[in-house]
Structure 1
Amino acid sequence: MTALSVNVNKIAVLRNSRGHALPDPVAAARVAMAAGCHGITVHPRPDQRHIRTDDVERLAAELAARQRAVADGAASVVAGAQCAGVELNIEGNPFAPPRAGYPGLLELARRARPAQVTLVPDGDAQLTSDHGFDLARDGARLQPLVHAFKALGCRVSLFVDPDVAEVERAAALGADRVELYTEAYARAFAAGDHGAALADCVATANRARAAGLGVNAGHDLDQRNLGALLAAMPFLAEVSIGHALIGEALYAGLDATVRSYLAIVNGPLATP
């Protein structure tokens, strides 16, 4: 089954626009978990434009407390047994140095101990992630960092373009998974001609799997284009969705929207 990880960055964007405490991304994560999502994703950036270091630490504490409650059998403490096993996924640029308010991705992972870190080559000038790693060029710098994150107990995923050359290098670097950057697919789907873009994703995913890697996917996925992606790649380990999901939730509500995505992820037999 493909896991759904809900990205709560946009909740923090809205909060930060007023400079106060609301809306709270941790409260949003609670709603998403109660609806049954499998993971919570955050992508803190050094400039603190949305999710901040303290948010990550609070989310980590929330998930750890839920796990302890489940382990102790106190099911009433969590919002349903479906919260068991919810993973924290922290995305970020491992090359970005620490600065005021941001300790660096490795230190943040040491504090939060997420189940997964997704390494992404983004910079402050980028509005959002817009490309994956060049594994040939970046491999020598990535390898020791991959091993450092794994030493913390984190599963490591590398963000890659759907037509990345030598995706097999990710396995040689020690990564556990790759995450396919799906913006090109989403754009092509919206234009009504996504066959070639989807084929690129499938080809790269199959090569990654042949190298022993798990495959995630994310960026611009929504309720319209997710089903076709999963039909072509039912082996996807995880999809991480934030922008579209939070936007749709403004109209339908966060609980209902998460459940709608889960119905797609789980297939036609899922209950709405």
Structure 2
Amino acid sequence: MKKLGFILSIILLVGVLAACGDDTSDSSTISEDKLVVGVTAGPHEQIVEVAAEVAAENGLDVEVKVFSDYVLPNSALSEGDLDTNSYQHGPFLDQFNEDHETDLVPVGKTILNPMGVYSETYESIEDLPDGAKFGLPNDPTNGGRALFILEEAGIITLEEGKEETASIYDIVDNPKNLEFIELDAAQIPNQLSEVDAAAINTNFALGAGINPKENSILLESTNSPYVNFIVVRAENENDPVIEKFVNAYQSDKVKAFIEEEFQGSVLASWDE
């Protein structure tokens, strides 16, 4: 009897462990009829709400969860509390995966908040004179981004392979002999009159009453590595329901909303 009781106990324990294993494997399963999507407040939230309307027309229910910071949407996705999120560009995602040992992957382009070059004196980037003073954000991410924009426009040349991490020390050709003055990104709009031109993030430009589409002398293109993405866990990358949501986001209705609502301060990037 003791031997039989021991065997029954082992069988019960194995059953419990198997059930626990099943729960773990199911945690990454996505419903075919409903998606929980994480966004940050603002344009990403507004755009995904429109994408949700398109998805609903095709039988997919989208629940939108709004976050107030840039870490939690990825943490929640990694932990299975979200099915996907839409708020970040590639360099941010790569750094998050490296820092947190996660395996989150991009599955579709969304928007670009374009960085622009502005000047109170010159109407074109080509008009900048030899030795012009250029205001550059002093943080690595935005400084490198501004240099990439200048390289893409043919104003400077960067060391090969440094496009996403460039600093002024990676400039190998500077035909106009631009003098780069590194400034706090948030303060550049207030210091624009002190330089010949400067690179300004969209959020800081809009906050200063500067319209990127109308006032920039050079605007970042959607070829930028800083385009934003819809992101999922790697195991869900090829799920049909994810493809359905990506198609809803990348629809004509969403693109028309972006163009009308943001007037060039946010660009739809998936057709590029």
Q: Same fold (TM over 0.5)?
A: no
Choose 1 or 2 for highest CA Rg. 2
TM-score (norm 2): 0.31
| Higher strand fraction (1 or 2) | 2
TM-score (norm 1): 0.31
**Highest relative contact order (Cα 8 Å, sep 6+), 1 or 2?**
2
